């Protein structure tokens, strides 16, 4: 894994580089937006760790430019100031995660690995259960050959459940898979809402999302769920 760290605090940056290197990640470090753009022009990265307050501007400006240019490189935003509004703004611009300084480097490492696991899963081949097909590359879900319109979170939830067919996934696990950060505006109740919506959309598909009280949810073909329940 190759990571670009954009951070002007020398002590923090050096400590982050050492930690990521010990975990097997190659970490390039720059201190300004100009240097970051130069690196991105000549080198591909698996992820970007981007401070918001930098000497020559805001990291959110670079994030905005990347997304407008079509870059899907995962970005973890760093900031010394906590604000729900700032956090939501960063996600609206296309950030994948958000960390408040000071932070534990073990948490940063874990979040990077979680992001890359999701990226890898999103590039996996088409999944099919009965008449239901899910293609993470094209973003297309079909039921009996007909497109099934899903909201973004519903699409992500269906992907998680289909990739883990027959397995029980807890609300916490689903929340982490959908959001990937300690979300202050969405909790486990949001998972119940998304599951309820997805169930309605899958009605008559031959695929069922089963609730296992106190444990979580499981998706499988209807007859297989019935035999195992």
Pairing, β 140-143 against β 146-147: antiparallel
Give the number of C-alpha atoms closer than 13 A to the C-alpha of residue 6, restricted to the C-beta side: 32
For the stretch 75-134, pLDDT in tens is: 999 988 767 777 777 888 888 888 888 889 999 998 888 887 776 655 556 888 888 998
Residue partners of 74: CB distance under 8 A and separation at least 6: 46, 47, 48, 96, 97, 115, 116, 119
CB 218 within 8 A of CB 167: yes
Q: What is the mean pLDDT of the chain?
A: 84
What domains lie within the chain, and their CATH numbers? Answer: 2-121 (3.40.50.2300), 125-228 (1.10.10.10)
- The pLDDT averaged over each successive group of 10 residues in the chain (229 residues) is 92 93 89 95 90 93 88 87 73 85 90 79 73 82 89 84 88 72 56 91 89 91 58
């Amino acid at each position: 894994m190759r990571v670009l760290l954009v951070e002007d605090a020398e002590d923090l940056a050096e400590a982050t580089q050492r930690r990521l290197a010990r975990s097997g990640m190659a970490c390039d470090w720059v201190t300004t937006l100009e240097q970051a753009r130069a690196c991105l022009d000549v080198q591909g990265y698996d992820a970007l760790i981007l401070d918001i307050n930098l000497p020559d501007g805001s990291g959110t400006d670079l994030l905005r430019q990347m997304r407008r240019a079509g870059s899907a490189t995962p970005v973890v935003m760093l900031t010394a100031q906590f604000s729900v509004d700032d956090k939501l703004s960063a996600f609206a611009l296309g950030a994948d995660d958000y960390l408040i300084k000071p932070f534990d480097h073990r948490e940063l490492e874990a979040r990077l690995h979680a992001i890359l696991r999701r990226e890898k899963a999103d590039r996996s081949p088409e999944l099919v259960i009965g008449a239901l097909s899910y293609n993470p590359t094209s973003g297309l879900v079909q039921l009996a050959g007909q497109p099934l319109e899903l909201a973004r979170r519903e699409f992500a939830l269906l992907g998680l459940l289909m990739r883990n067919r027959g397995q029980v996934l807890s609300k916490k696990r689903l929340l982490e898979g959908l959001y990937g950060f300690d979300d202050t505006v969405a909790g486990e109740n949001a998972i119940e809402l998304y599951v309820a919506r997805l169930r309605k959309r899958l009605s008559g598909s031959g695929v069922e999302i089963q609730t296992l009280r106190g444990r979580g949810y499981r998706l499988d073909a209807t007859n297989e769920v019935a035999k195992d329940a």
